[in-house]
Chains A and B, each alone.
Chain A
Amino acid sequence: MPAPTAAPAPARPAAPAAPPAPSGIRFDHVTVAHGRHGEHTVLDALDLTVEPGEVMALLGPSGSGKTTALRAVAGFVRPVSGRILIGGRDVTALPPHRRGIGMVVQQYALFPHMTVAGNVAFGLKAHRTPRADIPGRVAEALEMTGMAGHADRHPRELSGGQQQRVAIARALAIRPGVLLLDEPLSALDAQLRSGMLTELARLHRELPDVSLLYVTHDQVEALTLADRIAVLESARLRECGTPQQLYRAPRTAFTASFVGTANLLPVTVRGDGAVDFAGHPLAVPTGGAAPGATATLCLRPHLLTPQPGPGPRANTLRGTVTEVQWRGATHRLHLTAGGHRLLADLPELRAVPPCGTELALHFAPEDASLIPAGLAPDGPHDRPADGTDGGPHHA
């Protein structure tokens, strides 16, 4: 294996000039089931489109089907029904090696008996890249991930973060149209993780045509990196939208509590464009919700303030402090309000209210969002059990 370390590669290699590989992924009613008679559904009729060049995060707790969805794209699990298209081509029946994907898994799976350069060259050789082009392509991929100086090392000589970079270089070297990332950062410590997130965002800017399917259970990764997030729970797609949509106006209680922290309060819609919480009227945008309907009010803990803001008088929630946690930049207050638990993240307090203090918290109407129907369980951040999806969503 010739050492591609010395190659005077440009500081920022340009995106591949070759005709772009087919990009974009479409799940067309994809169902995956296990068990002898397929009685164990792990992915239920998933319909989802990842546009060319888009970063789609599959977000959900373990067992939600997100990894299964990714493995179905890679070809490691065969759907019992539905189709998977990559770049418009139906690949449902194709074996993994003919799908033209790049993939990075949680534990990297670098081949321990090959050098870093050998690992990166493996995919190129498998794709019958002309022999003369391989060293250049290997150098380019390693340069992109900042691993050019380690081409002759073996994986065991590298740290976790370096192995991760090599795994990404290996996946990118074949210039795939689709890059699948299966919890790629979960084996790294917190500091490395945020660094790698920045790196991944930069890589994607350099390869704007590549579709990224990013499986994670970490909302920070999803919010940071994704153009859109698909929230999965119990084998079902619950909601799909931009990070801002899901964060500011979640349509299900599950999304509200999984994407960021949320206070979920059961309310009744009143006739006058307000809702009723435990006997108190709160002014929030009710949309088209019919008067008398039950709904769930979603309030982000950091948007609650102890003083009313300027402008029109904000809504007030009265609660009793039950616990105070210091979190560095903020204090997290646990309260009980109207028989429901409530979280409030306040900028670090000079005078910490002792437990048992009565506190009035305010929020601006535009900071609240109303989740139609669906009764949220008691408790601000507990993840609801199955079945909270609650019927059709009102626009």
Chain B
Amino acid sequence: MLVHSAAARRVIHAVFFLLFVPLFALPLLVIATASFAGGWSGALPSAPTLAHYRDLARGSAPAALATSLLTALAAGAAALITGTWAALAAERLGRRARRLLDTLFLLPVAVPSVVVGLALLVAFSRPPFLLNGTPQIVITAHAVLVTAFAYQSVTAALARLDPAYAQSAAGLGARPATVLWRIKIPLLLPSLTAAAGLCFALSMGELSATMMLYPPDWVPLPVQIFAATDRGSLFTGAALAVLLMATTLLVLLGVSRLRTKAAYR
């Protein structure tokens, strides 16, 4: 604790809530409220209703949710595997090669995601690499965008991992593959699940690259939200947004439970 006096601590708490509540909590609360509103012309919403959710259940929302979930799971898994693999491989590289790899994985973060979407669209629109109009191009775009985060978090975890574990294992006669699967991966598991959760959440909310690429039969939830609000159905959009938030949160909670189980120290 940096602050010791009770009064000072109260001030800090007050500042925190003043910043946190309007910036983080209130907008989400407004969306949640709007999703149950029949109208909102005054200061407060009126005519509470579940109609928007009933409409969602009958419309294309379930399909969009499934699409989003599948995309995020596939892209998250691909990103986690690629990022972990790259981070493990980077350990053995020289300093210069390593910096090059770091930069390479930083690119999708540094470049606006609209540009990443456009780049994929241009690159994969002609045979033999014809992905345009397929779900795969959306998943690929998401994977490209989130791999950087997986790579970064696994790299950070590897840097913290005491090399004595792997060396002791090798000294005890374990082949490199055994060291990887029985020692390194289990010790990295908390970071891996954290990275997986992050990748999943980022992919669930991805809009800009998706907008450039999505085919008519693969419309993820964020695109639907955008479309709904774009045509003026604000309350439907709000209901969709709540659905997206709730699902993502649920999955993240599940992942964090997995993480506490995997944490051993």
Measured CB to CB, the residues of A under 8 A from B are: 74-76, 95-103, 105, 107, 109, 111-113, 122-123, 126-127, 154, 156, 170-171, 174, 180
In the complex, per-residue mask of B159-199: 1 if CB is within 8 Å of any chain A CB, else 0:
00010110111111111101000110011000000000000
Contacting residues, chain A, for B171 (C-beta < 8 A): 74-75, 96-97, 99, 101-103, 171, 180
Contacting residues, chain A, for B231 (C-beta < 8 A): none
User: What interface size band does chain B fall in?
Assistant: 20 to 34
Contacting residues, chain A, for B187 (C-beta < 8 A): 111-113
Of A97, A102, A103, A123, the contact of B175 (CB 8 Å cutoff): A97
Contacting residues, chain B, for A95 (C-beta < 8 A): 170, 176
* Sampled A-B contacts (13; CB under 8 Å): A74-B171, A75-B171, A95-B176, A96-B170, A97-B172, A99-B171, A101-B171, A103-B171, A122-B182, A123-B172, A126-B169, A126-B172, A174-B172
Interface centre among A96, A101, A180, by most B CB within 10 Å? A96
Contacting residues, chain B, for A123 (C-beta < 8 A): 172-174
Residue B126 at the A interface, CB < 8 A? no
Are A97 and B168 interface neighbours, CB within 8 A?
no
Interface centre among B162, B168, B171, B264, by most A CB within 10 Å? B171
In the complex, A98 Cα to B170 Cα: how many Å? 9
Of A75, A154, A170, the contact of B172 (CB 8 Å cutoff): A170
Contacting residues, chain B, for A171 (C-beta < 8 A): 171-172
Residue B265 at the A interface, CB < 8 A? yes
Are A112 and B264 interface neighbours, CB within 8 A?
yes
Starting from the known contacts A74-B167, A97-B175, A109-B168, 7 additional A-B residue pairs (CB-CB under 8 Å) come to A97-B174, A103-B168, A111-B183, A112-B264, A112-B265, A127-B172, A171-B171
Contacting residues, chain A, for B174 (C-beta < 8 A): 97, 122-123, 126
Label chain B's interface by main secondary structure: helix
Give how many A-B residue pairs fall within 8 Å (CB-CB).
Answer: 72
Interface centre among B164, B167, B168, B264, by most A CB within 10 Å? B168
Closest residue of chain A to B189 (Cβ to Cβ) is A113
With contact pairs A122-B182, A126-B178, A154-B264 given, residues A109 and B164 touching in the complex (Cβ less than 8 Å):
yes
Of B164, B173, B264, the contact of A107 (CB 8 Å cutoff): B164
In the complex, A353 Cα to B167 Cα: how many Å? 55
Closest residue of chain A to B179 (Cβ to Cβ) is A97
Contacting residues, chain B, for A99 (C-beta < 8 A): 171
- For the complex of A and B, list the 4 residue pairs with the smallest distance between their C-beta atoms, beginning with the closest: A123-B172, A109-B164, A96-B170, A126-B173
Contacting residues, chain B, for A174 (C-beta < 8 A): 172-173
